[in-house]
Amino acid sequence: MISIRSAEEIALLREAGRLVAQAHAVARELIAPGIRGEVIDRKVETFIRDNGGRPAFKGFRGFPSSVCLSLNNEVVHGIPGKRELREGDVVSLDIGVEKDGYYGDSAWTYIAGRDLQEAADLLAATEESLMKGIANAVEGNHLFDISHAVQTWVEGRGFSVVREMVGHGIGTQMHEEPQIPNYGPPGKGPLIKAGMVFAIEPMVNQGTHEIMLRKDGWTAVTRDGSLSAHFEHCVTVTDGEPQILTLP
């Protein structure tokens, strides 16, 4: 069942989303060659807690960090650790926050230093596909209209969308119904209604859409070793344009 949120709940979700966006701003200032992932993780966690939130990922099903930090061919759920960023690394950061019982979740992908790996087109296509998906999160559409918009934009630029990982509903839990694939036929899936809240998150690979899991049990990587990018916003459906909740 897909929850319909009240105006009061949307306001609380917006506060959680704002804190997520502010945490991303903290992380973005730190991304540079030579910095260790664990430093970014620690500073983001401190910022979230100092501002009345709780890092939603830390401890979730045993995940060890507050931030998912995925590099280059890592798609999602990378563990920050002691590894240092290198010039030209593609750095995907996924940050989740719980505040006052409601959740925010957002991912963004950056390049450390100069773009030595010519990843700019991949990042641009992924971010643009997110906005195409959001534009279809309107009352009266069907859920897969979001999915189809992401897929057609990505594939039209020569990239591929990950099939195994999906977006999701969000509210008083990090992951709620519905699951939101980044591919699919238009006009299918549940009817979208005002008050629904979605975490829309294209995960896009430079090569094949196929992925595999590393031995750490968390980090998903591209099967062919190609680069990957990940962008995510939480949005609420209204009787007009969708509203992004994960803005500063």
Summarize pLDDT for 199-218 with one digit per residue, the tens: 999 999 999 999 999 999 99
130-167 confidence digits (pLDDT tens): 999 999 999 999 999 999 999 999 999 999 999 999 99
Domain residue extents for the chain: 7-244
Q: What average pLDDT is seen over the chain?
A: 97
Closest by Cα among 157, 164, 162, 146 to 123: 157
Interval 179-207 mean pLDDT: 98
Contacts of 51 (CB under 8 A, 6+ apart): 19, 22
Contacts of 205 (CB under 8 A, 6+ apart): 75, 159, 160, 161, 162, 211, 222, 226, 227, 228
Per-residue pLDDT at 157: 97
pLDDT at 41 over 80: yes
CATH architecture of 7-244: Alpha-Beta Complex (3.90)
Q: How many CA atoms lie within 13 A of 38 on its CB side?
A: 4
pLDDT at 52 over 80: yes
Query: Whole-model pTM?
Result: 0.96
Per-residue pLDDT band for 226 (boundaries 50, 70, 90) equals very high
Token couple for 70: 């995925």
Contacts of 131 (CB under 8 A, 6+ apart): none
Closest by Cα among 112, 137, 95 to 30: 112
- Contact between residue 222 and residue 228 where contact means Cβ atoms under 8 Å apart: yes
99-134 confidence digits (pLDDT tens): 999 999 999 999 999 877 779 999 999 999 999 999
